[in-house]
Amino acid sequence: MTDLTLRPVAPADIPALSLLGVAAFTAKFWQLYRPEDLLPFLLETHSEAALTRDLANPARLIHLAERSGTLVGWVKLGLACGFPDHARGARVMELKQLYTAPNAQGSGIGAALMDWAMAEFASRGADEVQLSVWSENHGAQRFYARYGFEKQADITFRVGQQLDQEYLFARML
């Protein structure tokens, strides 16, 4: 993994982030949604315009991973509490998204991005980190549990007209 580079996102990276976000989400979840629900969701969350807004938002932080100059993953942090009804800490932040290229999963990219994210949360004074994970995504749940995250609540996640059953995971720092 010595050729893995983590760095902040620049505006020129947005098209590649958009493509990877769409590829990663659809590779994992496409079969769960009707096209009329999935397409608007992808445009809302993974379009170049949406990612450009996130990059300009001071309450968001996006970092990417490159291997041999090729984008292989990215992570987006929310520097404010995403689920205030379930907050236990005084300075709660949120792991918004963590994606790796579908053909690169299991190669340490997610762990490198998660290590960076957790260090970033700590350096910014977070005392709790929250994230949401689909109730049936057991692999992701195991991944987050390795970082000390535990289920705190049942929540929902909207994709178009469909409401998914999700779990709110959190960890005190």
CB neighbour burial string for 58-67, b if at least 16 within 10 angstroms, e if fewer:
eebbbbbbbb
Q: Count of CB atoms within 10 A of residue 124's CB?
A: 12
CA 73 from chain centre, in angstroms, equals: 10
| pLDDT band at 171; cut points 50, 70, 90 | very high
pLDDT reported for residue 1: 46
Q: Rounded distance, CA 98 to CA 65, Å? A: 11
What's the token pair of residue 65?
């991973």
pTM attached to this predicted model: 0.93
Tens-place pLDDT, residues 88-107: 999 999 999 999 998 888 88
CA 62 from chain centre, in angstroms, equals: 9
The whole-number average pLDDT for the span 68-77 is 96
Domain boundary assignment for the chain: 4-125
Tens-place pLDDT, residues 40-49: 999 999 999 9
CATH homologous superfamily of 4-125 equals Gcn5-related N-acetyltransferase (GNAT) (3.40.630.30)
Q: Which of 22-31, 58-67, 107-116 has the lowest mean pLDDT?
A: 22-31
